[in-house]
């Protein structure tokens, strides 16, 4: 047991909590219209409550519990945190209490379904949101997390590299968001008018808190307060800086002005892209990963989305899906054993095999998350109905789902 490691992982757990609330909540909350801001904050808050309980009751056991034998799912040995205690679990983190590893991973399980909120924002029933979230966490996140990170997981055994969740967190939520956007349909009035974000300062504030919290997410994933954590911290912040600047420059060239929304979106895309790679690549390649991700995500949002006209309202697929896929593939290109001996060499360092593994990782995740999301949506839609009635959508989710409004016109 190492007290420094324990201190860092517990701190990182709190940092990742901060990413969901208030980070992501305000990042998304600023982007919706005034009548829906509370619904977004509420969804983030309730995911924090519900998935924390799901995790300690059975989610942790399904994801990280002893494998049932086929590499598909964890067993039920750790149900309700049975057999999880203060002593380290040497399979996952030998120098910190098992509790610390469990609660660190809990925050990842929380933020992943919260990312999806951005795609169905402003038109989902609260009850349907709850049902979808719990089912998605149980049948998409938990199995996928087991495959990639769990001891005995079949993708982990193939040598898949995902340092902090480019696949498990970002690609899975991003792809699911695209499927949901197609299934739930466009917001009323989308064809006629552009919905302007109601509070961009909130969005910049939330984006900045995401960047801050992401140090826990990425550097914390070293699970030790060591040189690997320091390196992941550095690669994370340089990739983000490069991506934020690149996005602003692209906009400046394309539209004549760099925007705050563009820069903060670029920064988040950079954070996403470096997530799977941060513990395996050197800082100069991290900059390159950051620059490329802004080009890819910009095209996905400004060109592809407007061409196909789907309403992924807050660009979950455009940022997390595209960024996560690029980061996962980039890990297969730029990973070096010279950086992290526990990793592998990517294509540019003589490891073509690793690149193929990363490609397969992407394909498996896209197919699995996409198909399961389709299935869960159909189930919830048949049982509860996913979308609010037209009049409720027009009045807004704050008033119709939560009986309150964020702002008053007169005091």
Whichever of 45 and 158 has its CB closer to other proteins, that residue is 45
Which are the contacts of 285, defined by CB distance < 8 A and separation ≥ 6? 334
Pattern of binders to other proteins over 213-232, x per CB under 8 A?
A: --------------------
- The yes or no reply on residue 404 touching other proteins (CB under 8 A) is yes
- The yes or no reply on residue 192 touching other proteins (CB under 8 A) is yes
- The yes or no reply on residue 309 touching other proteins (CB under 8 A) is no
Whichever of 203 and 401 has its CB closer to other proteins, that residue is 401
Q: Which of 269, 152, 166, 252 is nearest to 217 (CA)?
A: 166
- The yes or no reply on residue 410 touching other proteins (CB under 8 A) is yes
Q: With CB under 8 A as the contact rule, which of the stretches 76-84, 170-178, 188-196, 337-345 interacts with other proteins?
A: 188-196
Question: Per DSSP, what are the bridge partners of residue 387?
Answer: 124
Q: Tell me which DSSP letter residue 34 carries.
A: G
Q: With CB under 8 A as the contact rule, which of the stretches 23-31, 64-72, 101-109, 389-397 interacts with other proteins?
A: 389-397
Q: At residue 339, what are phi and psi to the nearest 5 degrees? A: -85, -45
Whichever of 357 and 397 has its CB closer to other proteins, that residue is 397
CA–CA separation, 111 vs 113, rounded Å?
6
Least Å distance, CB 402 to other proteins, is 9
Place of tokens 């037209």: 390
Residues within window 21-60 making contact with other proteins, judged by CB under 8 A? 35
Among 189, 201, 350, 385, binds other proteins (CB under 8 A): 189
Q: Tell me which DSSP letter residue 389 carries.
A: P
Q: How far is CA 397 from CA 202, 241, 408, in A?
A: 19, 35, 16
Least Å distance, CB 195 to other proteins, is 11
- Torsional sign, CA 369, 373, 375, 376: positive
Among 69, 257, 403, 411, binds other proteins (CB under 8 A): 403
Question: Per DSSP, what are the bridge partners of residue 93?
Answer: 89
Whichever of 38 and 243 has its CB closer to other proteins, that residue is 38
Among 49, 53, 188, 230, binds other proteins (CB under 8 A): 188
Q: Tell me which DSSP letter residue 340 carries.
A: -
Least Å distance, CB 192 to other proteins, is 6
- The yes or no reply on residue 196 touching other proteins (CB under 8 A) is no
Least Å distance, CB 52 to other proteins, is 22
Among 69, 196, 391, 411, binds other proteins (CB under 8 A): 391
Among 394, 397, 406, 411, binds other proteins (CB under 8 A): 394
Which are the contacts of 264, defined by CB distance < 8 A and separation ≥ 6? 27, 203, 204, 207, 208, 244
Question: 322-334 and 283-298 helices cross at what angle (nearest 10)?
Answer: 150
Place of tokens 């900059």: 287
- The yes or no reply on residue 190 touching other proteins (CB under 8 A) is no
Residue 21 · residue 28 · CB < 8 Å: no
Whichever of 337 and 387 has its CB closer to other proteins, that residue is 387
CA–CA separation, 105 vs 100, rounded Å?
9
Least Å distance, CB 395 to other proteins, is 8
Least Å distance, CB 392 to other proteins, is 11
DSSP 55-90: IIIIIHHHHHSPB-SSSS-B-STTGGGTT--SS-BT
Whichever of 57 and 188 has its CB closer to other proteins, that residue is 188
Least Å distance, CB 32 to other proteins, is 14
**Which residues make up the interface to other proteins (CB under 8 A)?**
35, 188-189, 192-193, 391, 394-395, 399, 403-405, 408-410
């Amino acid at each position: 047991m190492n007290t420094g490691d324990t201190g860092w992982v517990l701190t990182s757990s709190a940092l990742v909590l901060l990413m969901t609330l208030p980070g992501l909540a305000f990042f998304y909350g600023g982007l919706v219209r005034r009548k829906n801001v509370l619904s977004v904050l509420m969804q983030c808050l309730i995911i924090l409550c519900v998935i924390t309980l799901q995790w300690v009751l059975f989610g942790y056991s399904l994801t990280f519990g002893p494998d049932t034998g086929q590499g598909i799912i964890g067993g039920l040995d750790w149900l309700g945190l049975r057999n999880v205690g203060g002593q380290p679990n040497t399979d996952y983190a030998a120098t910190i209490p098992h509790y610390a590893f469990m609660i660190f991973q809990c925050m990842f399980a929380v933020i992943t379904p919260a990312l999806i909120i951005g795609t169905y924002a402003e038109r989902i029933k609260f009850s349907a949101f709850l049902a979808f979230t719990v089912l998605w966490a149980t049948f998409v996140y938990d199995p996928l997390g087991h495959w990639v990170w769990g001891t005995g997981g079949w993708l982990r055994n193939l040598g898949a590299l995902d340092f902090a969740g480019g696949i498990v967190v970002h690609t899975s939520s991003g792809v699911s968001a695209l499927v949901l956007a197609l299934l739930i349909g466009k917001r009323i009035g989308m064809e006629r008018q552009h919905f302007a974000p109601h509070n961009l300062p909130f969005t910049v504030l939330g984006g900045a808190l995401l960047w801050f919290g992401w140090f826990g997410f990425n550097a914390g994933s070293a699970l030790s307060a060591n040189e690997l954590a320091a390196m992941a911290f550095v690669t994370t912040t340089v990739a983000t800086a490069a991506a934020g600047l690149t996005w602003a420059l692209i906009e400046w060239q394309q539209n004549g002005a760099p925007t705050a929304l563009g820069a903060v979106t670029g920064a988040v895309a950079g954070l996403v892209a470096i997530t799977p790679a941060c513990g395996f690549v050197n800082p100069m390649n991290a900059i390159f990963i950051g620059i490329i991700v802004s080009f890819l995500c910009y095209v996905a949002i400004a060109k592809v989305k407007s061409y196909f006209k789907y309403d992924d309202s807050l660009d979950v697929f455009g940022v997390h899906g595209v960024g996560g896929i690029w980061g996962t593939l980039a890990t297969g290109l730029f990973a070096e054993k010279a950086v992290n001996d526990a990793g592998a060499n990517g294509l540019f360092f003589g490891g073509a095999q690793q690149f193929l593994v990363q490609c397969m990782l992407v394909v498996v995740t896209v197919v699995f998350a996409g198909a399961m999301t389709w299935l869960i949506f159909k189930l919830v839609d048949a049982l509860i109905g996913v979308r609010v009635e037209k009049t409720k959508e027009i009045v807004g989710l704050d008033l119709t789902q939560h009986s309150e409004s964020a702002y008053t016109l007169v005091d």
